[in-house]
Structure 1
Amino acid sequence: VERLPYDRPNTTMREFPLCQMCHEEYENPNNRRFHAQPNACEACGPNVWLESKNNTLSEGHDAIAETAELIRNGKIVAIRGVGGYQLLCDARNNAVVTSLRQRKSRPAKAFALMVRDIAQLKTYADVSSTEEKVLSSPQAPIVLIKCSSSKFTKAIAPNLNRLGFVLPYSPLHILLMNELDFPVVFTSGNLSNNPQCTAVKEARGDLSEITDYYLHHNRDITNRVDDSVLTVFEDKPMAFRLGRGYAPISNRIDKVMTNTKAILACGSQVKNTFSLIDGERLITSQHIGDLTNQRINDDFETQLALQKQLFAIKPDYVAVDLHPDYQASIFGREYAKQHNIECYDVQHHHAHLAACLYDNGYPADADNVLGVVMDGTGYGPDETIWGGEFLYGSYAQFKRLGRISPVAMPGSAQAILQPWRMLYSYLQHHQFKLSELPAQLQQVLKEKPLETIDKMLENNINSPLTSSCGRLFDAVAAALGICSDSISYEGQAAIELQQAAENYTSSCKPSGYHLNIKETDGYLEIDTSVFWTEVIADININLTIEDISAKFHIGFAQVVTNLVVRLAEDRCIEHVALCGGVFQNQYLLSVCMTLLTNAGFKCLYHNNLPANDACISIGQACVVASQSLGA
């Protein structure tokens, strides 16, 4: 759709005039295709064709049949779908999957799989009724399902036991999968860290070194949109990424607050979305991506212009993240300046809390809640890096009451990419001697530039303090030899650490490590000193990584609960909001919910919106709507 009203001339189907038969269907009120704007048939609708890098090979049904044969024979094919191109290959073929990883510069991040139908999926995984329902829904998202990796080549999802499955959701995908009796890899057609290709010319350029063949169609794609990704938690769908089928989406904000203003919320730097509020409506974009990439940044502006036009919204206020250098924040501040409107800075973790409240329909005039906001990074008002926060408040305001005890991030952003840096920072912070550490830890830190890191820490050079939960998880993962040297995608170390905890098989429930609580500078802090002593002792006796990871997750959930109980002693706290990207870790979320519920609290957590930074724009919009009305 390029403009409203939703009539064929205002869509990309205007290039395909209806034939006489389709026109009669369109005009007949007794026909199921009456006024169906995309109505078309083989005679008057879009065409498909298969091409190599030099020539058109076939068209129509022949092109689809030949594409299936190419995939069967170990080739990679780029297929133009609904919201962009996807890359497909035989999921059983280790050589071609490994080749796709190399060509796409994607060494470890899991690939999704398309299966023909639920019956085929059930030969590979145990599928719950809820998972089946979500997979088969009209939205047809990718659904993460526990599955034995031994049934596929390990190159599909290295070190993980959850695989993303999707059913065919467009006529082209259905016709293709009807030709195949095996699952196919199904991943975005793009250069690494770039937006998904949408145009034929763009795909021919960007994907020329990745794909062997192309299956094109000639219907333009106006709205680039990635596939949605969900999982099932507590027998309910839980969103990880909202795209095709789910977003852009318009919801009502009057379920939580009264609003009369128009607001543009620009979102975060990574996993960006933007949101628009106009009176009772809250409109949120599809997943945009990482705005450090200029092409994705351009797509942000293109999609924003389209949504503003479609919904006829002229903002009165702009909301941006407090971080001074986020591209979305720079854009928002400049937009506010150009349009002479007020711009609100919204602290990152306050936005997380507000988004969780909105996701749960929590009223703005209800009592304050305690937000346990755990993620990788967020700019704090004190100019340090937050990420392990206990915030008391609601939409309009918050007060920081607790945190994970801060440590330095040597190398700043480099410490996110190289988990050994955070491990070393924690060890130095607690004054462990390198020569006295177990051989396994010494091996992790062997040949690392530790003298340089020491100077950085001693002189506070590019080593900002952080209370980040994500960085603590990275440090623990590094200590266990998980992604110690580097990660190749966001959250990899923490995801594989969760996998290790879930692989704990002993019949005895592990006791959690001791993470204590101390008071510093007016905050209750999670202190990790005893914890690290216990971890090092267990490494020294060669306890398995599964045992150590499980003990860490349980111990962390226990200290979160203990700290919440302490904070609730002098306050009326009934609800605890568990939010931030760390709580996509279902193992941790489940243990936290059990312990907090047993302690008498009601837990709020994300289901409809992702807990990660994709929800930041929604939180920003709600904060500004509440503040601008004095709610």
Structure 2
Amino acid sequence: MAAERIVVSGLVQAVGFRPFVWRVARRLGLRGTVCNMGDRVEILVTGPGAARDALVAALWSGPPRARVLAVARQPDLYDGGPGFEIVPSVAGGVSAGIVADLATCTACVEEIRSPAARRHGYAFTNCVDCGPRFSIVSGFPYDRARTTMAGFALCASCRAEYDDPTDRRFHAQPIACPACGPRLRFVGRGAGSEGEAALTAAASLLLSGGIVAVKGIGGYHLACLATSDAAVALLRGRKGRPAKPLAVMMRDAVMLEAFCRPSAAEQQLLADPAAPVVPVATRAGAPLSAGLAPGLDRLGVMLAYTPLHALLLARVDAPLVMSSGNASGCPQVTDDAVALRDLAGIADGWLMHDRPIARRLDDSVMAVVDGQPRVLRRGRGLAPEPLTLPPGFAVAPPVLAMGADLKAAFCLTRNGQALLSHHMGNLDDAGVADALLAALTDYRALFAQAPAVVAVDAHPDYRSHALGRRLAAEAGLRVETVWHHHAHVAACMAEHGLPTDGRAVVGLALDGAGLGQDGTVWGGEVLVCDYRAARRVGRLAPVAMAGGDVAAREPWRMLLAHLDAALGPDGTDAAVARGLAPALAGRPLPVLRAMIRAGVNAPACSSAGRLFDAMAALLDVAPARMSYEGEAAMRLEALARGADQAADSAPFGLRTRDGLAEIDPAAMWRAALRDRGDGVAPARISASFHAGLAGAFAELACRTAQVEGLDTVALSGGAMHNAVLAETLAVRLRAAGLRVLLPVRAPAGDGGLALGQAAVAAARMLEGV
């Protein structure tokens, strides 16, 4: 009989691909072998042609978490053995990636709940369909010896399961049980404890109002009762996190329903194997602490995604805050000794285990926007699954893109695949730059990446820019600078498969800030983009940022700039005197106005994000100084969702200025002040503002599309994380007959910027620009 060699490329590591091939081949009566080659799975097979064709057809569907990108077939002289076998792996790098960590499957949940099961109550239960993957792998091919489970020798019972093709733990690399696997221990008040006693001690401390550092898959969490105002206040005080929303973990869907009102789409997303944090509405009267998400109408929740979390929540029988295990502004802790040292001023106890964490992974955050799940932060459960780049990119030189300073993440591309890293944090925070460089070294070694060009944001003062230039200089590589808002739009284009030689799109890039091509601060831009270049055709009318970067943290400064631009100083002062702009009362307005007149530390800014800050200040929902990025805008969005009826669109003007179409908010400010004076509810004013701003940008996009002969609009930038704005924009643009692209798998904000930088740099390299 004829034989052939079949090579399968794609996401085929840590998804049970070899056992899947073994089962299909045996069912079809084929003889041969399947081997993990690191960057691919190789099958040598002999048998009837129809059976071999059936095997190849089955490969494309694969196990549930696999993503096959290519199947290559060629004749071979292999004469086959007596049956079909899985043979030892061959070491090598991986280009397409490994599956991300997977939430505990239903079968394993039932097992840890069953008193008769061997793994009853065992905190590290997993199988081929669930459990740790990226967080434990140290090399490829994906075998136990190349994971942090290498130090745990299998007992006879686990070995039997591992070798049994009919068992769901057949070749499950992290397999473990109480006899041979990782063990829990609790460190805290009094004597330490292990195993089930450790869980009981941690639960007791939580129920008494204490804070427990819990070692999870990708790092430590700081946990406390989400139902206790005192416990939440204690955590916020110790961590130095006064207002930033805290994520809450629910035991299961039953507990979730008792406290929250998720939509059907949100329920489905919460149950996904990625187990992301998802913002959902809470139930009226639910006994949750008011301090979980101050000023917001939604709470970020996730379901227990490991047996450890499920067992702990079962003992506490209440939702738990699961905040990143770190002091404010520092990377999440992964090492046990560091956790005992650095979290000593925050935690009252530590629930630990002896399975090492190979790499830090923050929880992923996703939301349902415009009817579809979209990534807001890429981390555990999502990274490092690759993104397939559009046609044309497969032959581009490999690129390293450094991303931005906020929500830092890098991107590596090769062979038409993009590896967008997990969330790193903000590069200005202590230790984050070092963590990013360490993660970059890790990715490059793990996935055998050797970039030929380094792409950086055009802002010369960005730390990511400096790091990229340093890395390029050390390796003798070319540096490609990419304008911030071009990269935002290009990221959206790339993940939607727009080819390198395709038509341009209208890009709406709305965010907090990014350096523009004219040297000013942009953030409310209408662009005409392809991958190689972007041309600005419209903008939000610029105003001054009095105090520079300080104005990005103190919304009242932006309110002053906008009101003065709309009404003049006398008009602003009159509004303050009437009590219509209390955020400006008692502020040093003459000093800021002098700065603006003199052009001293008052750069021009066309930012949509800063406009949101200003409106939040007017409606008195913004703090005098924000404690986290986006705080004012998120509160304004929550306010808009609370409007009791559909709001009319606030009036925004459209004009031409300096050769650009420009959105003028002056009329909107006059209307908002009039509504304030008439006692209109702030929620209605906010809803009207959102509708008006979306309408103005939609109108400008439609005009641009008509003039330029384009039919597609790409929406990107951090403001697209605002569901009210994004959905209103999408509805209006579609009503005008335009195709609308919104980011899905890469964050719309700076967390996805590196993908766009990489796409731009690769396209330019292809053109020889």
TM-score in terms of structure 2 length:
0.80
Relative distance call for 1:4 and 1:409 in structure 2 (3 A) is same
Q: Give 3-state SS (helix, strand or coil) of 2:158's partner.
A: helix
Residue in 2 aligned with 1:501? 640
Residue in 2 aligned with 1:373? 509
Residue in 2 aligned with 1:133? 268
**1:167: how far off?**
1.1
Matches within 5 A, 1:254-273: 254-255=390-391, 257-273=393-409
**1:346: how far off?**
0.4
Matches within 5 A, 1:189-588: 189-255=325-391, 257-430=393-566, 431-433=568-570, 434-438=572-576, 439-441=578-580, 443-506=582-645, 509-588=646-725
Q: Give 3-state SS (helix, strand or coil) of 1:12's partner.
A: coil
- 1:611 partner amino acid: A
Residue in 2 aligned with 1:157? 293
Identity of aligned residues (%): 39
Separation in structure 2 between the aligned mates of residue 48 and residue 617 of structure 1, nearest angstrom: 38
Q: Does 1:82 align with 2:217?
A: yes
Separation in structure 2 between the aligned mates of residue 478 and residue 584 of structure 1, nearest angstrom: 20
- 1:556 partner amino acid: L
Q: Which structure would you say has the larger RCO, counting Cα contacts within 8 Å and 6 or more residues apart? A: 1
Q: Give 3-state SS (helix, strand or coil) of 1:616's partner.
A: helix
Question: 1:365-424 deviations in whole A, cap 9, x for unaligned?
Answer: 221110011000011121111100000012121110000111110111100110000011
Q: Give 3-state SS (helix, strand or coil) of 1:208's partner.
A: coil
**1:484: how far off?**
4.4
**Structure 1 gap segments, 5+ residues each:** none
Relative distance call for 1:470 and 1:310 in structure 2 (3 A) is same
Separation in structure 1 between the aligned mates of residue 284 and residue 500 of structure 2, nearest angstrom: 45
Match of 2:169 among 28, 33, 46: 33
2:402/2:464 contact within 8 Å kept = yes
Match of 2:744 among 604, 607, 613: 607
**1:256: how far off?**
6.1
1:149/1:161 contact within 8 Å kept = no
Residue in 1 aligned with 2:152? 16
Separation in structure 2 between the aligned mates of residue 377 and residue 426 of structure 1, nearest angstrom: 16
**1:254: how far off?**
4.3
Match of 1:57 among 192, 196, 204: 192
Residue in 1 aligned with 2:83? none
Q: Give 3-state SS (helix, strand or coil) of 1:23's partner.
A: helix
**1:340: how far off?**
1.2
Q: Give 3-state SS (helix, strand or coil) of 2:431's partner.
A: helix
- 1:283 partner amino acid: L
Residue in 1 aligned with 2:141? 5
- 1:494 partner amino acid: A
Separation in structure 2 between the aligned mates of residue 264 and residue 149 of structure 1, nearest angstrom: 48
1:256/1:358 contact within 8 Å kept = no
**1:30: how far off?**
4.1
Separation in structure 2 between the aligned mates of residue 426 and residue 13 of structure 1, nearest angstrom: 58
**1:33: how far off?**
2.4
- 2:261 partner amino acid: D
Match of 2:241 among 106, 115, 120: 106
Separation in structure 2 between the aligned mates of residue 296 and residue 376 of structure 1, nearest angstrom: 21
**1:202: how far off?**
1.2
1:16/1:44 contact within 8 Å kept = yes
Question: 1:120-158 deviations in whole A, cap 9, x for unaligned?
Answer: 111122233322222122111111112246422211111
- 1:380 partner amino acid: G
Separation in structure 2 between the aligned mates of residue 255 and residue 418 of structure 1, nearest angstrom: 44
**1:66: how far off?**
2.0
- 2:295 partner amino acid: N
- Bigger mean CA deviation after superposition, 278-287 or 124-133: 124-133
- 1:92 partner amino acid: T
TM-score in terms of structure 1 length:
0.97
2:369/2:726 contact within 8 Å kept = no
Residue in 1 aligned with 2:67? none
Q: Give 3-state SS (helix, strand or coil) of 1:292's partner.
A: coil
Q: Give 3-state SS (helix, strand or coil) of 1:95's partner.
A: helix
Separation in structure 1 between the aligned mates of residue 616 and residue 164 of structure 2, nearest angstrom: 63
Separation in structure 2 between the aligned mates of residue 494 and residue 140 of structure 1, nearest angstrom: 26
2:184/2:353 contact within 8 Å kept = yes
Residue in 2 aligned with 1:121? 256
Separation in structure 1 between the aligned mates of residue 520 and residue 736 of structure 2, nearest angstrom: 32
Q: Give 3-state SS (helix, strand or coil) of 1:79's partner.
A: strand
Matches within 5 A, 1:68-79: 68-79=203-214
Separation in structure 2 between the aligned mates of residue 149 and residue 75 of structure 1, nearest angstrom: 26
1:416/1:471 contact within 8 Å kept = yes
Q: Give 3-state SS (helix, strand or coil) of 2:227's partner.
A: coil
- Bigger mean CA deviation after superposition, 96-105 or 247-256: 247-256
- Bigger mean CA deviation after superposition, 34-43 or 394-403: 34-43
**1:441: how far off?**
4.1
1:374/1:579 contact within 8 Å kept = yes
**1:519: how far off?**
0.9
Which is greater in Rg? Answer: 2
- 1:242 partner amino acid: R
Separation in structure 1 between the aligned mates of residue 420 and residue 514 of structure 2, nearest angstrom: 21
- 1:471 partner amino acid: R
Separation in structure 2 between the aligned mates of residue 476 and residue 578 of structure 1, nearest angstrom: 22
Q: Give 3-state SS (helix, strand or coil) of 1:122's partner.
A: helix
Separation in structure 1 between the aligned mates of residue 217 and residue 443 of structure 2, nearest angstrom: 18
2:582/2:620 contact within 8 Å kept = no
Residue in 1 aligned with 2:277? 142
- 2:364 partner amino acid: S
- 2:449 partner amino acid: I
- 1:447 partner amino acid: G
**Structure 2 gap segments, 5+ residues each:** 1-136
Separation in structure 2 between the aligned mates of residue 512 and residue 168 of structure 1, nearest angstrom: 41
- 1:35 partner amino acid: H
- 2:583 partner amino acid: V
**1:474: how far off?**
0.5
**1:301: how far off?**
0.5
Question: 1:229-286 deviations in whole A, cap 9, x for unaligned?
Answer: 1111233211111110101222222446343311100111111111101122211111
**1:180: how far off?**
2.7
- 2:282 partner amino acid: C
**1:56: how far off?**
4.4
Separation in structure 2 between the aligned mates of residue 148 and residue 128 of structure 1, nearest angstrom: 12
Relative distance call for 1:550 and 1:285 in structure 2 (3 A) is same
**1:170: how far off?**
1.3
Let me know the Cα RMSD of the aligned residues: 1.6
1:149/1:157 contact within 8 Å kept = no
